[in-house]
Amino acid sequence: MLKVVIIGSGNVAQHLIKAFRNSAHAELMQVYARNPGKLSHIVPQELIVQKIEALAKAHIYIISVTDDAIEEVSSQLPFEGRLVVHTSGSMPLAQMDSKNRRGVFYPLQTFSKNKEVDFKNIPFCLESEKEEDYLTLEKLAKSISPLTYNISSQQRQALHVAAVFVNNFTNHLYSIGDDICHSNGIPFDILKPLILETADKIQSLSPTDAQTGPARRNDITTIQRHQDFIENPVQKEIYTLLTKSIQRRNG
Amino acid sequence: MLKVVIIGSGNVAQHLIKAFRNSAHAELMQVYARNPGKLSHIVPQELIVQKIEALAKAHIYIISVTDDAIEEVSSQLPFEGRLVVHTSGSMPLAQMDSKNRRGVFYPLQTFSKNKEVDFKNIPFCLESEKEEDYLTLEKLAKSISPLTYNISSQQRQALHVAAVFVNNFTNHLYSIGDDICHSNGIPFDILKPLILETADKIQSLSPTDAQTGPARRNDITTIQRHQDFIENPVQKEIYTLLTKSIQRRNG
């Protein structure tokens, strides 16, 4: 049984805490939190520590704090030579203090406070400084998800950028769709099945094969009519740029 | 039982043919197709007509052809005063010949040749010139989907633009994610759960509430690092523009 300590109380930390508490193959030893009130509903009081000196001995320490705080927290740890990982998509492994054996344990998913996630569908991007630690990280990840990938810090950086495109920017396009509906007295609900199907389609087709629309078929008349229709200058700029990008990619 | 004739043999026509063939409340009388070979696998030969003069009497004629051909096909119809609709998201009702009672029967979904769709999840945008025809259109739509909306030609134009944002442009962002993965030796599969969750999230949260990421939290350091990372100039331009748009919207 792998013994785990989680350092942090944010969104990702909370989801990991719940996942490890439900896992038969990992034991959550402790959670370090400066603000234990945030955790009272998901973890027994006796597992929470507020002093970093009080950290118990474990196989793996997971630092799940904001990117800016990772370096400082890693250097405050009162021990050396143990396996310490962070959960950030954008920070390199080397961001942490080298006094411990370093690794990365990055769940590639969008976590919301008010929405449960199923860890079985979450890919874990794993990286370790020492080869022998990789197996431990893999075993820990497999205790909550079958999807594990060996991803270097350089690849993780790329993946984080890709995730911004397919998650943050996609959601922003949903917002624009919502705005357009709202200004025209149309319920946004009408777009929801289309949004789901768009995401579902590329589970089996490549995005290139799944591409449709006026830009893809170079339908200049429709593109012009859409551009005339859009009044908001930022929306118009986005429409024009993405249309050009599709035309160039498929031209 | 509503008697329906479909005019056309493209993607949308084929999906509608299958849906009406499976419906207990509509009867597919005929399909008019210049190229009947495309339909041989989904409709019995005796239902296909190749001469427009041979069209049978029906309650509703559905013109499901390319946008450019709608006007011509509608004027070639060898009858007057009947209910004739098109299935286009971007063409106004008035595009059709006024010798018949005109309407629109637009299924708002992305249709692919090789992927079945469940009509129960497809919203139908309905419009009719004459009030009494609206009930007929609604009854026909309800025979294959519970989701029907009364949408004017002007609203449908807005909806079509919104659909380009949430479907075509979103899929293009998936392509960019795919490209970034490919150039960095990462399997695109790793992004698929994130893509699904992003679409699933806004089924219950508003896109504004669901927005996350460096632009949303104004994390200038990460934004700068991403911009430095992206080499492709079009991708960099898209990153910069969408980041600005998120910052402005949530600022």
Give residue-wise pLDDT tens across range A187-229.
999 999 999 999 999 999 999 999 999 999 999 999 999 999 9
Strand partners, B115: B112
Mean pLDDT (whole number) for B161-188: 98
Domain count, chain B: 2
Mark whether A13 and A91 lie in a shared domain. yes
Predicted pLDDT of residue B116: 80
Q: How confident is the model at residue B249 (pLDDT cuts 50, 70, 90)?
A: confident
Looking at this protein, which amino acid is placed at residue B137?
A: L
pLDDT for the residue B27 = 96
Smallest CA–CA distance, residue A50 to chain B, in Å, is: 27
Asked if the model's pLDDT at residue A112 lies above 80, the reply is no
Shortest CA gap A167–chain B (Å): 6
CB–CB of A58/A3 below 8 Å? yes
- 3-class DSSP state for residue A184? coil
A140 to chain B, any CB pair closer than 8 A? The answer is: no
CB–CB contact A166 B194 (8 Å): yes
Q: What percent of chain B has pLDDT over 70?
A: 100
Q: What is the ipTM of this complex?
A: 0.92
Do B18 and B75 contact (CB within 8 A), yes or no? no
Q: Rounded to whole angstroms, how far apart are CA atoms A226 and B164? A: 9
- Distance between CA B166 and CA A192 in Å, rounded? 9
Contact A110 B201 (CB under 8 A): yes
- In this structure, the answer to whether residues A100 and A50 fall within a common structural domain is yes
- Residues B83 and B166 occupy one common structural domain: no
Q: What is the CATH number for A221?
A: 1.10.1040.20
Considering the domain architecture, whether residues A25 and A111 belong to the same structural domain is answered as yes
In angstroms, the separation between the Cα of residue B8 and the nearest Cα of chain A is: 19
Measured between CA atoms, the residue of chain B closest to residue A165 is B173
Judgement on whether residues B146 and B160 belong to the same structural domain of the protein = no
All residues of chain B having their beta carbon less than 8 Å from the beta carbon of residue A163 are 177, 191, 194
Interface contact flag, A174 B197, Cβ < 8 Å: no
Residue B114 has pLDDT above 80, yes or no: no
Which residue, among A68, A170, A224, would best test binding to B if mutated, counting the most B CBs under 10 Å from its CB?
A: A170
DSSP 8-state code for residue A130 = S
Going by pLDDT thresholds of 50, 70 and 90, the confidence category of residue B5 is very high
What is the C-alpha to C-alpha distance for residues B107 and A227, in angstroms, rounded to an integer?
23
Amino acid identity, residue B179?
Answer: D
pLDDT at B159: 97
Please name the residues between 190 and 249 in chain A that touch chain B, using a CB distance below 8 Å: 190-208, 210-216, 219, 222, 225-226, 229-230, 234, 237-239, 241-242, 244-246, 248-249
Q: Do A160 and B203 touch (CB under 8 A)?
A: no
Does one domain contain both A56 and A147?
yes
Q: Do B112 and A249 count as a contact with CB atoms less than 8 A apart?
A: no
Spell out a b/e string for A158-173, using b for 16 or more CB atoms within 10 Å of the CB, else e. Answer: bbbbbbbbbbbbbbbb
Per-residue pLDDT band at A103 (split at 50, 70, 90): very high
Whether the CA torsion B160, B166, B171, B177 is positive or negative: it is positive
Q: Is B69 at the interface with chain A, CB within 8 A?
A: no
Residue B128 corresponds to which tokens in the numbers above? 């009719």
Residue A21: predicted pLDDT: 95
Asked whether the beta carbons of residue A175 and residue B249 sit closer than 8 angstroms, the reply is yes
Best probe of the B interface among A198, A205, A206, by most B CBs < 10 A, is: A198
Segment A73-86 shows an average pLDDT of: 98
Let me know whether B94 and B195 are in one domain: no
> Which stretches of B148-217 are DSSP H helices?
153-163, 170-183, 192-201, 207-210
Q: Are residues A164 and A56 in the same domain?
A: no
Closest CA to A175 of B37, B18, B242: B242
Q: Using one digit for the tens of pLDDT, what is the confidence trace for A82-99?
A: 999 999 998 999 999 999
A72 and A20, same domain (yes or no):
yes
Of A108, A169, A196, the CB nearest to B199: A196
**Does A47 touch chain B if contact means CB atoms closer than 8 Å?**
no
CB A123 within 8 A of CB A147: yes
DSSP string, A1-29: -EEEEEE--SHHHHHHHHHHHT-SSEEEE
Question: A26-70 pLDDT, tens per residue?
Answer: 999 999 998 888 898 999 999 999 999 999 999 999 999 999 999
The distance of Cα A108 from the centroid of its chain, to the nearest Å, equals 4
* B-proximal residues of A, 92-131, CB under 8 Å: 108-110, 112, 114-115, 117, 121-123, 125
CA distance A6 to chain B (A): 23
Mark whether A39 and A104 lie in a shared domain.
yes
Output the CA–CA distances (angstroms, integers) from residue B154 to A137, A234, B157, B161, in the order listed. Answer: 56, 21, 5, 11
Q: What is the pLDDT of residues B135-165, one digit of tens each?
A: 999 999 999 999 999 999 999 999 999 999 9
CA-based nearest residue to B147, from B115, B184, B117: B117
A97 & A60 share domain: yes
Partner residue facing B164 (CB), from A197, A214, A245: A214
Q: What is the DSSP letter of A225?
A: H
In the structure, how many helices (H) and strands (E) does chain B have? 9, 8
Residue ending a domain, choose from A93, A125, A151: A151
Residue of A nearest to B169 (CA): A242
- Among candidate residues B130, B151, B172, the one where a domain is terminated: B151
| For residues B108-129, average pLDDT | 88
Confidence label for B175 from pLDDT (cuts 50, 70 and 90): very high
Q: Is A162 an 8 Å CB contact of chain B?
A: yes
Collapse the DSSP code of B10 into the 3-class scheme (helix H, G, I; strand E, B; otherwise coil) and give the result. Answer: coil
The CA angle B191-A189-B126, to the nearest 5 degrees, is: 125
Residue where a domain terminates, one of A151, A185, A200: A151
Domain of residue A76, residue span: 2-151
Would you state the structure tokens that stand for residue B87, as one six-digit string? 């299935």
Statement to judge: residues B13 and B43 lie in one domain: yes
Which among A151, A175, A211 has the least Cβ separation from residue B171? A211
pLDDT of residue A110 exceeding 90, the answer is no
pLDDT over threshold 90, residue A111: no
Nearest alpha-carbon partner for B207 in B157, B245, B236, B234? B245
A·B CB contacts under 8 A = 317
* Interface contact A176-B162, CB threshold 8 A: yes
Arithmetic mean of pLDDT, A172-178: 98
